[in-house]
Structure 1
Amino acid sequence: MELCTQLNYVRSLSTGKAYFYYLSKSDEMCPLGIDRTRLRAPKGGYAEAYKGNSFVEKNIAPQDLAYSNPQFIEECYVKPGVDYIYCAFPLRVRANSLTPDTCSDNEVRSKLSLLAKTYAELNGYQELARRYAKNILLGSWLWRNRECRKLSIEVTTSDSQTLIIENVTRLSWYGHWDEASAECLDKLTVYLARALSDQTEYFYMDVKAKIGVGWGDEVYPSQEFLNEREDGAPTKQLATVELLNGEETVAFHGQKIGAALQSIDDWWHEDADKPLRVNEYGADREYVIARRHVSHGNDFYQLVRNTENWIETMTASQIIPGDVHFIMSVLIKGGLFNCSKAK
C-alpha cells in the first residue's frame, strides 16, 4: 500500500493544561506563584575559552573567565508551611484511529480502516491502553516533579469510577505492581481500551496528583519558548494558567503532558530497555539518535506500507506483531502522513 497525497489522523488523546496549586486551611485553591530572580552565574561554557571543536584557545585574559554572566530568570518554589501541592489535568479520549480523518485515496482509507478493525478484534487496543494507563498512574507526566517525598494519583473517569494509587514512587514501568495498584491499572486499562475503540460515546477523565513536598522545594513547570530576547524581561519564563479567583499559577503545557503519556514505544528493539515517546522515526532525545532510522527499516512509513501483509498475518496467526502496535500508536498520536507528489 502506497501512502496518498493527503492523509491525516486526528489525535485520540487530547490533554489540557496541567495546573499546580495548594490548598489553604479552608480548602481554598491557592496558586503557586512565580519568583523573579537576578543572579550572577559563573562562566563555564566551552565557547568562553575555546574556538571550534579542536580546542583552539581564544586570546583572553585570565580575568575574563572570572567575570560573572548576569541572568534574569523565573523560578517557582513551595511556600513555607505547605506540605502538599497538587497538579491536575483533564484528558479526552476519542476513537480517532479507527479511520483516517482526511484521506485522498479510498483504497488507502479502506485498508487502514481494515487494519484498525482487525487490530480491535484481536484486542490490540488493550495493550496500548495498558501502556497509557501506566503512564497516567505512574505520574510520568509530572516529569522532574515526580521526585518528591510522597506521591499519590487520583483518576476520575466519565463513568464515575474513582481510582487512587498511594505511594506511586515505589512503582515503575517494568517493575512489580502490588495487588491494589494492579487492580487500578486493570480498571483504567479496560476503560481506555473501550474509549480508544468505541466511537459511540464521549470519554473523558480528570487526573490529579498529590505531591508531598518540603518547604521551599523547587517546582518544575513548563517553560515558555522565547523566539527573541526582550529588554527587561526574564530570559527564562514559566508557563502559567489563571485560576478562578484571577490569580496565576504555574502550569504544564498540554503538549508536555501528552509527550509523557505517549512514551510507550519499546517495540523499537527486541532488547529495548525503555519506552520512547511515540514518533515516526523513534527519536531518542536522551541519546540524540533516531532508533527507527530509515536504514533500519522499522520507521512508521516503511511499516505502514505493508498494511495488507499485516492484516493477512494477524488474520492467519491471531497474533499482533509489535510493529503493528507501533503503527497504531502513531495513528493514535495523530498527524499528517502525506506522501509527496511525484515530480
Structure 2
Amino acid sequence: MSHKIPDVLSFQRGTIITDGLMSSIILNKNGENKTVPVKVIRHGIRGANSYPKGDNVSNIQRTETAKTHPESIGLSVIFSFKTIPAGSLMFGCSDPTFRSITDGFIDRFFVRGVPEFDEVCHRYARNILNGRWLWRNRILGETQVTASVGDKKYLSNGSRLRDFDVYTEDEQGLARAIATGLLSSDNASPAIKVEGRVLFGFTGEVEVFPSQNMVGNKPDGFARSLYKVDMISRRDLISIMGSANKNEASAGDFAADMIDMGRAALRDQKIGNAIRTIDTWYLDFSGTPIPVEPNGASLDANTVFRKGNQNASALLSNMDEMHPETTFNPGAAFLIAILIRGGVFSEKK
C-alpha cells in the first residue's frame, strides 16, 4: 500500500566526512617520505582570447593555482570518514505512521547479511579504496589508497573503478567497518582515516586540482577561486590588494605578484559525492554509475535518470511493502543509499 509523503520529512546525512587536505610528497635526506602542505597561490597570467574582439588577442587575468613542491615525487590527500547509527538518520517527520514505516524499513534492511545493505556498504568501501574521490588528480600518476581503522589498514590493490562485484578482502573488511557505524546504537562508529597518494614517476612542481569555489559577480579579470583552508585573512588580503592599487590601477592590471591564499583541499561535499557514486540500479543503466540522488541527477550527463516510480519519493511511499527476500531488490538498495545520503523529501498539501 502506498503512503503519502508527509508535509515534513527529512533525513540527516549518515556520513561524516572531513575536507581532504593536500600535501606534496618529497624525499628527505635519508630517502624517507615526508609531506608538506600544497599552497593555493593567486597570481596573474596572460593567455589568449578564444573569441578576440578586433586585434586584442591577449587575455590578462588573475587566477588561483595549486602546485606541489619543486622536489615533490607525488601528491597526498588525507580525509577522515565515519558513519552514524541508522536509527539517527531521520531528522524530522510530521506523520507518526510514516515514522513507524521508516523505522520498520530500517529494522528490516539495515542488517548484516541482508544483500541490499551489504552491497551498499561494499560499494562505499570500493569507492573509498579505488580513489574515485581524487577526481581529476587521478590522471597525474599511479594512485594508491590506504584506509586505516585503528591499527588495521585496508589497501587499494585490486579495487576497480567502473563496476561493483567480486570485492577484494580489503574492500570487504572496510565495508564491515562502515556497516558497524550504521548498526551501532551509541555513536561509537569506527573512525576511518583515508590517504590517497598519486605518484608522478618523476620529481617536480606539478599542478594539482583542489575543489573550485563558485563565485557570483566575479570582478573583471578574475578567472577562478580554488578551495583552501587555513586561508589568508580578509584584512590581510585587502591590505595587499590595496597597496597594489595605490596608483589607481585596476585589479586586473596589477596586484602583488603572488599571494599565498592558504592550503589546498578537496571539499568534503565533493569527496562525499564521489563515494556515493554507486547507483547502477536505475533503468537503462549503460555501464556508468551515477551519484545517489533523489531523482538520479547527474551533472556529468546533464540529465536525471530516475523519473516516475523510480525516484526516491515514489520508493519512499512504497517502502512498507519492501521486505528482504532471496532475490536482490534494486529499489531497496537505492532506498538504503538514499537514507544514508540524507535530504528533505517533504511534500506540501
Task: Report the TM-score range of the alignment, normalised by the length of the smaller protein.
Answer: 0.7 to 0.9
Partner of 2:44: 38
Letter in 1 for 2:215: L
Letter in 1 for 2:171: L
Q: For 1:306-342, what per-residue CA distance to the aligned partner results, in whole angstroms no more than 9, with x for missing partners?
A: 122224xx3xx443410111111111001111111x2
1:219 to 201, 208, 213: 208
Using the TM superposition, give the Cα deviation of residue 120 of structure 1 relative to its aligned residue in structure 2, in angstroms.
Answer: 2.5
Partner of 2:238: none
Partner of 2:313: 301
Partner of 2:234: none
Partner of 1:332: 340
Structure 1 residues 92-107: aligned runs within 5 Å: 92-96=82-86, 100-107=90-97
1:17 to 16, 19, 24: 19
What root-mean-square deviation, in Å, do the aligned CA atoms of Structure 1 and Structure 2 show? 2.6
| Identical pairs, percent | 21
Change (3 A) 1:75 1:99: closer
Aligned length: 310
Letter in 2 for 1:284: S
Q: For 1:64-115, what per-residue CA distance to the aligned partner results, in whole angstroms no more than 9, with x for missing partners?
A: 2653332211112223221122100011211236652221111001101111
Change (3 A) 1:29 1:242: farther
Partner of 1:125: 117
Using the TM superposition, give the Cα deviation of residue 204 of structure 1 relative to its aligned residue in structure 2, in angstroms.
Answer: 1.6
Partner of 1:182: 168
Change (3 A) 1:110 1:99: farther
Structure 1 residues 1-343: aligned runs within 5 Å: 1-23=3-25, 25=28, 29-44=35-50, 64=54, 67-96=57-86, 100-121=90-111, 122-158=114-150, 160-166=151-157, 171-174=160-163, 182-200=168-186, 201-213=188-200, 214=202, 215-230=204-219, 234-242=222-230, 248-269=262-283, 271-294=285-308, 297-311=309-323, 314=324, 317-340=325-348, 342=349
TM-score normalized with structure 1 length: 0.82
Letter in 2 for 1:205: I
Aligned partners of 1:85, 1:44: CA distance in 2, in Å? 32
Letter in 2 for 1:257: I
Partner of 1:51: none
Gaps of 5+ in 1: 49-62
- Does the Cα contact within 8 Å between 1:78 and 1:218 map onto a contact in 2? yes
Aligned partners of 1:324, 1:161: CA distance in 2, in Å? 31
Using the TM superposition, give the Cα deviation of residue 149 of structure 1 relative to its aligned residue in structure 2, in angstroms.
Answer: 2.3
Partner of 1:52: none
Change (3 A) 1:166 1:123: closer
Aligned partners of 1:320, 1:106: CA distance in 2, in Å? 29
**Per the alignment, in what secondary structure is the counterpart of residue 19 of structure 1?**
strand
- Does the Cα contact within 8 Å between 1:267 and 1:323 map onto a contact in 2? yes
**Larger deviation, residues 93-102 vs 144-153:** 93-102
**Per the alignment, in what secondary structure is the counterpart of residue 264 of structure 2?**
strand
Change (3 A) 1:323 1:23: same
More strand by share: 2
**Per the alignment, in what secondary structure is the counterpart of residue 126 of structure 1?**
helix
Change (3 A) 1:115 1:319: farther
**Per the alignment, in what secondary structure is the counterpart of residue 283 of structure 2?**
coil
Aligned partners of 1:74, 1:241: CA distance in 2, in Å? 14
Letter in 1 for 2:98: V
- Does the Cα contact within 8 Å between 1:125 and 1:197 map onto a contact in 2? no
**Per the alignment, in what secondary structure is the counterpart of residue 258 of structure 1?**
helix
Q: For 1:186-244, what per-residue CA distance to the aligned partner results, in whole angstroms no more than 9, with x for missing partners?
A: 11112212222222332221000121024232201011221222478x4311111239x
Gaps of 5+ in 2: 232-259
**Larger deviation, residues 76-85 vs 104-113:** 76-85
